[in-house]
C-alpha cells in the first residue's frame, strides 16, 4: 500500500489534511539585537577604514590605543574586559603596538603575571592626530540626529546596558 492508498498525505506528516504548527518566523529587520549588531558592524568597519588607511591600525589596535588615551592604569586583562575582545586578539594588538613603538609594557607592581600598558610619546602623537579625526567622523555620522535625539540615543543605550546587567 502506498501513501496515497493509505489516506496519508506525504506533505502533512499527521495524515491527510493534518494542520501543521505555524512555522516560527523572525523578521531580522525588526529584531533589535540583529539591527544593533549590524549597525555596530557597519560603523566599526567604516571607521576602521579611516585608521587602517591613514595609520595602519586594525580595530583591535585602535581599541587598545583608545582605552589607553584615557586610562592610566591599564592591563591586557582590563582591555579584554572593556572591549569584549578575546585574549589572543588583545595580545596580538598589544604586541604589534609595542613593536611599532606606540605603547610600552612594564611589569605590574601589583601582579607580576601582568604588565601595565602605557602610551609612548609616539603613541601620544599618533592619538593627537587620530582622535580629532575620529571625533569629526563621529560628528558627521550623528549629524542627521538632533541634539535631543543624540542624547536620547545615548540614554536608551545606557538603559539597555543596565537591563542586560540585570537579566544576565
Q: How far is CA 162 from CA 83, 154, 166, 168, in A?
A: 17, 12, 6, 10
Q: Which residues of 79-118 are buried (b: 16+ CB within 10 A; e: fewer)?
A: bbeebebeeebbeebbebbbebebbebeeeeeeeeebbbe
3 vs 23: which has the higher pLDDT = 23
Output the pTM of the full model: 0.77
**At residue 2, does pLDDT exceed 60?**
no
Name the residue ranges covered by the structural domains of the chain: 26-167
CATH assignment, 26-167: 1.10.10.10
pLDDT digits (tens, 9 = 90+) for 122-164: 999 999 999 999 999 999 999 999 999 999 999 999 999 999 9
pLDDT digits (tens, 9 = 90+) for 89-110: 999 999 999 999 999 999 988 8
Amino acid at each position: 500500500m502506498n501513501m496515497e492508498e493509505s489516506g496519508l498525505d506525504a506533505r502533512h506528516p499527521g495524515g491527510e489534511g493534518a494542520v501543521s504548527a505555524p512555522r516560527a518566523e523572525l523578521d531580522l529587520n525588526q529584531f533589535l539585537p540583529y539591527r544593533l549588531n549590524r549597525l555596530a558592524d557597519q560603523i566599526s568597519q567604516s571607521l576602521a577604514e579611516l585608521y587602517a588607511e591613514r595609520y595602519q591600525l586594525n580595530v583591535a589596535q585602535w581599541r587598545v590605543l583608545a582605552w589607553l588615551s584615557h586610562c592610566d592604569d591599564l592591563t591586557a586583562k582590563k582591555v579584554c574586559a572593556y572591549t569584549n575582545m578575546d585574549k589572543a586578539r588583545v595580545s596580538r594588538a598589544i604586541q604589534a603596538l609595542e613593536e611599532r613603538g606606540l605603547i610600552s609594557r612594564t611589569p605590574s607592581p601589583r601582579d607580576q603575571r601582568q604588565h601595565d600598558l602605557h602610551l609612548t610619546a609616539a603613541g601620544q602623537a599618533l592619538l593627537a592626530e587620530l582622535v580629532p579625526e575620529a571625533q569629526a567622523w563621529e560628528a558627521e555620522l550623528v549629524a542627521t540626529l538632533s541634539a535631543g535625539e543624540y542624547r536620547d540615543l545615548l540614554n536608551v543605550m545606557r538603559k539597555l546596558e543596565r537591563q542586560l546587567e540585570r537579566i544576565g
